[in-house]
Amino acid sequence: MSHRIDIYKNATEPYNGLLAINAHLKKSVLPADLVELVFLRVSLINGCAYCIDKHSRDLIKSGMSIDKLLLVPVWYEAGALFTPREKAALAWSEVVTRIGETTAPDADYAAVTSHFNPAEYAELTMAIALMNAMNRLAISGRMTPQAALQ
């Protein structure tokens, strides 16, 4: 693999802006585990090894079972393992991450807003947007997942 320019070292101020959004989301109106779950799903869709590794580890540390973690890619087939609210967040994560294909239909918007109040919806959508940005930086920068360093 070729050496890539370190984006953080060369664009520290804007990167710190993204980290500030992340810090806000960790103490937002949304439960931290739900934010991590969304981060993981977005990262799985985008194929970001670094972020998949990081958010999987964070969810395990917070107490998520391995059984549930393994079924995040197919949450819609996991029955009651995911709550209706988690399912709504995961579905919206897919819609927003694939925005070029989905165009965020009204039916999908109605589905997510039936589970989240306006402040929660706004922060959920910010979390999805943030993780899409972070995935693009990590993938293009070839950030190495912790598991690959061991």
pLDDT tens for residues 108-144?
A: 999 999 999 999 999 999 999 999 999 999 999 998 8
DSSP string, 100-124: HHH---HHHHHHHHTTS-HHHHHHH
SS3 126: helix
Distance CA 120, CA 73 (A): 23
114, 118, 123, 128: CA torsion to nearest 10: 40
- Which residue from 100, 140, 130 is spatially nearest to 7, judged by alpha carbons? 140
* Residue 10 in this model has a pLDDT that exceeds 90: yes
**Mean of pLDDT values over 98-108:** 98
Distance CA 38, CA 124 (A): 8
The reported pTM is 0.94
Residue with tokens 């589970």: 115
**Mean of pLDDT values over 13-38:** 96
DSSP state of 47: T
> Any idea what the Cα angle at residue 117 is, between residues 113 and 118, rounded to 5°?
90
Residue 2's pLDDT is what?
A: 67
pLDDT tens for residues 33-69?
A: 999 999 999 999 999 999 999 999 999 999 999 999 9
Distance CA 147, CA 64 (A): 19
